[in-house]
Amino acid sequence: MKVKKYIAPTMPEVMKKIRKDLGKDAVILNSKEIRTGGFFGFFTKPSLEVVAALDPEPIYTEKSKDTDQFKKTTRPIRDEKNSAKEYNRFEYGEMQSLLRSLANEKSHSNHLPPDILKIMNQLEEQGVQQELRNVISKQMLKKWYQENSEQEANEKLLNWLREVLLSILPEKGFGGFQYDKRFLNLIGPTGVGKTTTIAKIAADAVLNKKKKTALITTDTYRIAAIEQLKTYAEILNIPLEVAYNHEDFNKAKQKFHDYDVILVDSAGRNFKNAKYVADLEHIYQFNEEMENYLVLSLTSKHADMVKIVSQFEKVPIDKLVFTKKDETETYGDILNICHQTGIGVAYITIGQNVPDDIKEGSRQHILNLVIGDIHHA
C-alpha cells in the first residue's frame, strides 16, 4: 500500500495533488488543519494536512509484443460495480473531511472551491444568514465532488444552487388568497404596510375575482389608518366596519354574513408587547373560517423579523406577506424566514400603488429575487 502526506492551503488543491499522484482509487485516511510558515510562531498561515493511501493491487496483462517481460498495470482492473464503489469511497472520504472543517465558521472560506465561495459571498450580500449559507454550501459541495472534473462542476453551479434553494423552501403554502375561506386577516407590527396591502387584495378581489367583498378594521389606535381604509373602500364601493372590541367584530361578521370574502385589517402595535397578541386572540377567536397572514417588511432587521415571528407563534399563521420590496435591494430574509418557519409566501408588495404593486408569492419568484444577479463566471 502506498501512503503519502499532502499539504496545501485548501482542500481542492490537496485533491488535485492526490488525484494526479495516486489517482481516483486513493482513500483519505486522515485530514487536519495545521499552521505553516511564520517566524517564531507569528504570522503563520492555515493549511490542510491530508494523509492518502492507494493499494495498487497489481495484476499482469498479456505478454507485450515488444518485450518478453510482463507489463504491470498501475491501476487495477475491476468490474464497473467495484470501480464505482472505490471511487465513491474516495469521494465520500473527501466530503466527510471537508464538511467537518466547514463546521468551523472561521475555516469555512479556506476549504470552499473558489466559485462556490464566490456564490456564498454573494448570498451573504443578499442577507442570507451564515447558518443557512453553511447548509447551502454543504449540499453544493456534495454535488461538486461527484463531478468528473472541476470545469464540469463549475458549469453546473447555478443550476445546483437553484436545486438546493428549492429544497430549502417549503413545498406548499405559496400564492395568494384562494377564497376557500370567508375571512382573510392581516396581522403584524405597526408600519409594515398592512393597510395598503389589504387595499390591494381587496381591489383584486373586487375588480379581478368579482367577489362580493367587505372590510373590517380593528386598527382603532391610528385614526389615519381608518381614514385611509375608508378612502379605499369608497373607491372600490365596498362596505367598511370599524371594530373596537370582540362584540363589535361579531356584529360586523353578522352584518357581512352573505359576503364572499371579508378582509380584516388588524391593529398595528409594538411587536414587543405580548399583550397585543393576546388582544388579537380575544377579538378574533381564530377559527377554521379565517386565514391569517403575517406581514413583514423587507426593510426590517433580520433580528426584528425573527422576534416578530416568535411573538406571533401563538397565532395560526397560514402564510407570510413581505412588503416594501422597492425600498431594499437585499431579499435574503425571505429565504431565511421561510426556512426558519416552514411557512410559504402569499404576496410580495413592491410599492404604494393600489392595486398594481403586489405580486403573488411563488418559490420560483423568490429564487429569482435572491439569486437573480448571482453569477460565478
36's CB contacts (< 8 A; 6+ apart) are 7, 44, 45, 47
The predicted structure's pLDDT at residue 219: 74
What is the three-class DSSP state of 109? helix
320: β partners: 294, 345
Mean pLDDT of the chain: 79
More confident residue, 255 or 15: 255
b/e map of 140-164 (b: 16 or more CB within 10 Å)?
bbbbbbeeeebeebbeebbebbbeb
Torsion of CA 69, 75, 80, 86, to 10 degrees: 150
Cα radius of gyration (the chain)? 29
C-alpha cell at 9: 492551503
Burial class (CB in 10 A: 0-12, 13-18, 19+), 74: exposed
The amino acid that residue 57 corresponds to is: E
The predicted structure's pLDDT at residue 185: 92
Where is average pLDDT lowest: 203-217, 274-288, 333-347?
A: 274-288
C-alpha cell at 337: 424566514
The predicted structure's pLDDT at residue 65: 43
C-alpha cell at 262: 371579508
The predicted structure's pLDDT at residue 62: 44
The predicted structure's pLDDT at residue 64: 41
Burial class (CB in 10 A: 0-12, 13-18, 19+), 176: buried
319 and 345 Cβ atoms separated by less than 8 Å: yes
More confident residue, 368 or 87: 368
- Could you read off the pLDDT of 70-111 as tens digits, one per residue? 333 333 434 444 444 444 554 555 555 555 544 454 444 556
Q: Choose among 335, 375, 368: nearest CA to 131.
A: 335
The predicted structure's pLDDT at residue 166: 94
The pLDDT of residue 255 is above 50: yes
Query: Grid coordinates 372590541 are at which residue?
Result: 245
The pLDDT of residue 163 is above 70: yes
353 confidence band (pLDDT: 50, 70, 90): confident
Query: Grid coordinates 472520504 are at which residue?
Result: 93
How far apart CA 295 and CA 319 sit, in angstroms, is 9
The pLDDT of residue 230 is above 60: yes
What is the three-class DSSP state of 300? coil
191 confidence band (pLDDT: 50, 70, 90): confident
Where is average pLDDT lowest: 152-156, 160-164, 326-330?
A: 152-156
284 confidence band (pLDDT: 50, 70, 90): low
Q: Residue 297 region, left (φ>0) first, then alpha (ψ -120 to 50), else beta? A: beta
The predicted structure's pLDDT at residue 270: 55
- When pLDDT is averaged across residues 46-67 and rounded to a whole number, the result is 59
216: β partners: 241, 264
The predicted structure's pLDDT at residue 354: 84
Q: CA angle, corner 265, sides to 264 and 266, nearest 5? A: 105
More confident residue, 319 or 156: 319
The pLDDT of residue 56 is above 50: yes
How far apart CA 251 and CA 273 sit, in angstroms, is 27
